[in-house]
Amino acid sequence: MVVGIVRLKIYAPWVHSLKEKRMIVKSLCSKIRNKFNVAVAEVEDQDIHQSIFIGFACISTDNSHADQIIDRVINFIEGQTEGEIVQLERELY
């Protein structure tokens, strides 16, 4: 069993309130959860409106499949938001 964990930071300069950020994060997390069946949540900086930290995890049978899932989720996130991914940490256990 392989567990893939990713933590990424998205810089969203157009967000001007926490309410707007929460709507974006909630929508993005639910889309990721429904499309890829991974665990996903906002993990840091919940009180900073232009910084979005999202973490997600997947479980697979081998490293290459876990890497594929992670790559597909990251590409999906890049396509769904206008923000820039400024930090990305990924680990396989």
For residue 53, what pLDDT is reported?
Answer: 97
Give me the domain span that covers residue 61.
2-92
Lookup: tokens for 61: 């049978």
| Stated pTM of the model | 0.92
pLDDT averages per 10-residue partition of the chain, 93 residues: 97 94 96 97 94 97 96 96 94 96
- Looking at residue 50, which CATH number applies to its domain? 3.30.70.1120
Which residues are registered as beta bridge partners of 9? 53, 87
- Residue 46: DSSP 8-state: T
Gyration radius of the chain over CA positions: 13
Structural domain total, the chain: 1
